[in-house]
Chain A
Amino acid sequence: MHWTEYFSPLLQGAWVTVQLTVYSTILGAILAFAAGVGKLSSNLLLRGISVVYIEVFRGTSLLVQLFWLYFALPVAGQALGIDLRIPPVVAGVLALSLNIGAYGAEVVRGAIQSVHQEQHEAARALNFTPRQTLTAVTIPQAVPEMMPPFGNLAVQNLKDTALVSLISLGDMTFRAEQLRNFTQDSTTIYSMLLLMYFGMALVLTLMMRTLERRVGRWRGTGA
């Protein structure tokens, strides 16, 4: 096989990698906001759930989480009498987004706490409800602060998608493994694979920078 023939299977895998990255980043961002805001909630139950979620998913390894969802969850379901067998793609997206969401939650919490106290006081003086304060005053000013670390997490997430090849999902790394088994041409295949990941990471970084500039104008005028 000539090395140009490797492109077609690798690109097929690349599309799966892109989809996994997009889905899990979006789902992860939602989880990050929910848990980040939840950790600052005055409701003890909400705060407890958020803290436990963040600690468990930040405190264990992503691969452990992935294997647990894929291998152990069905057994747990069996014991409870429910069918919890999930297809690899669901296990993959779920593990990736739960993991990145826990890291993102700490970013969201930090950004919200960095919004100046006088903003809250002003909102209160204007008779905003706590919910209005959160959605109209705090979050718009906190989001620009979150963007640089979110960019790093998105790249982290892209790199982490390679792990799903271990539960037989046909991503870029999986395709490369198949090619290597077939041709034994490790040097070329893995060099191409590394460069393709590098290229994807650069594009993703560029996209996150653009998004960062876009939301930059929400920043308060530095009162």
Chain B
Amino acid sequence: MLFGFEWDTSGPLVFAVSILPILLVGMWVTIQATVLGFFVALVLGLLWAVLKAAPSRLISWPATVFTEFLRDTPLLVQLFFLYYVLPEFGIILPAFMTGALALGLQYSAYTSEVYRAGLEAIGPDQREAARALNLPAVRTFTHVIIPQAVPRIVPAMGNYLVSIMKDVPVLSVVTVLEMLNVGRIIGDRTFNYLIPLSMVGGLYLIMTLVASAALRLLDTRLPKQGIPLK
């Protein structure tokens, strides 16, 4: 029994049906971790992008090296680091929060590049035109650059959202009860790994297919020329 649901091992099909609700509880945790991790990645990535674009090399250099470091080291090791090292400095977070933070940190390195590429894709002529129209710098950014950068940024960010979802099972090593961990516990207790783990794989496939379809739909809905203001 797990999360109050009993399993029935009398036959393969009955077993599969009886553990489905348990796996769905795990799936819900997976989705929550994905969303929270993605949010952290979006915020931190923007911060790194701004720091990397700083005019002073004293700021842009360390930011570049740090994001490179985040990108080139395994998520699992970063997670272990946060989980075991943060408490030594008095920062004690629940496992789920540590996991979401690790996901967000790793992917912030990738999202910072998306922000940078999105902003650079807008040619200098746009800035020149804004200047010729005597727009202040802030309004140029909020009314010219951002509306044009968003449609370029969204599809790439969507791909990372799906990647984050596929990395959530790593959180199982710090006791987060996401879908794979739940599937494995069922396997441990029933001595049948084949059905729960295959179901986890199948549910993952459904999740990524649905997410990809949603992103494609979003992509076709986004105006290519930028978001019209008012």
Contact = CB atoms under 8 A, between A and B. Distances in A.
Contact of B205 (A56, A72, A193): A56
Contacts of B198: 68, 72
B125 interface: no
Given A187-B85, A198-B72, A64 B201 contact: yes
Given A60-B201, A71-B184, A79-B194, A162 B85 contact: no
Contacts of B141: none
A71 B194 CA distance: 7
A63 B170 contact: yes
A63 B180 contact: yes
B84 A68 contact: no
B2 interface: no
B56 to A, nearest CB: 24
A160 B76 CA distance: 9
A194 B180 CA distance: 25
A201 B75 CA distance: 14
A59 B165 CA distance: 10
B53 interface: no
A197 B74 CA distance: 8
B85 A68 contact: no
A18 to B, nearest CB: 14
B197 to A, nearest CB: 4
Given A61-B180, A190-B81, A71 B197 contact: yes
Interface string A142-162: 000000000000010001111
- Measured as residues with beta carbon below 8 angstroms from the partner, the interface class of chain B is 35 or more
Contacts of B205: 55-56, 59-60
Contacts of B208: 58-60
Interface in B185-216: 187, 192-194, 197-198, 200-201, 204-205, 208-209
Interface in A41-80: 55-56, 58-65, 67-68, 71-72, 75-76, 79
A94 B187 CA distance: 22
B72 A67 contact: no
Interface in A132-190: 155, 159-163, 165-166, 173, 176-177, 180, 186-187, 190
Minimum-distance CB pairs A-B, first 4: A201-B72, A162-B74, A186-B84, A75-B194
8 contacts: A59-B204, A61-B168, A63-B170, A71-B184, A162-B77, A186-B88, A193-B77, A194-B73
Interface of B: 69, 72-78, 80-81, 84-85, 88, 165-170, 172-173, 180, 184, 187, 192-194, 197-198, 200-201, 204-205, 208-209
